[in-house]
Amino acid sequence: MQAVGAVDHLPLSNTDSIGSFAVDGYPNKKSQTVESRSVTSGYFSAMQIPLVAGHLFTAADKPMSQHQVIVNESFAREYFAGRNAVGGRVSPTDPDNSTGKYDWSTVIGVIADVRHTSLEEPAAPQMYRLNEDIDEGYIAVRSSLPASVAATQIRNALHAMDPNLAVNEIKTMGDLVSEASARRRFQTSLLTVFAAIALFLALVGLYGLMAYSVNRRTREVGIRMALGAQRADVLLLVLKKAALLLGLSLVFGLMGAWFATHFLKAFLFGVDQHDPITILSVCVLLVVCGLIAAFIPARRAASIDPMQALRTE
Q: Where residue 266 falls among pLDDT bands split at 50, 70, 90?
A: low
pTM over 0.75: no
Q: Is the pLDDT of residue 268 over 70?
A: no
Instruction: Quote the mean pLDDT of the chain.
Output: 83
Lowest mean pLDDT segment, chosen from 8-22, 132-146, 184-198, 269-283: 269-283
Mean pLDDT value of segment 194-198? 89
Q: Where residue 271 falls among pLDDT bands split at 50, 70, 90?
A: low
Strand-pair category, 51-54 with 89-91: unpaired
The pLDDT assigned to 50 comes to 92
Q: How confident is the model over 72-89, as pLDDT tens digits?
A: 999 999 999 888 999 999
Mean pLDDT value of segment 146-164? 88
The pLDDT assigned to 197 comes to 93
Q: Where residue 273 falls among pLDDT bands split at 50, 70, 90?
A: low
Residue pair 140/46 in contact by the 8 Å Cβ criterion: yes
Q: Where residue 269 falls among pLDDT bands split at 50, 70, 90?
A: low
Q: Is the pLDDT of residue 270 over 70?
A: no
Alpha-carbon gap, residue 71 to 60, rounded angstroms: 19
> Higher confidence at residue 214 or residue 7?
7
Mean pLDDT value of segment 158-177? 84
> Taking Cα atoms as reference points, which of 95, 93, 47 lies closest to residue 72?
47
The pLDDT assigned to 122 comes to 83
> Higher confidence at residue 306 or residue 143?
143
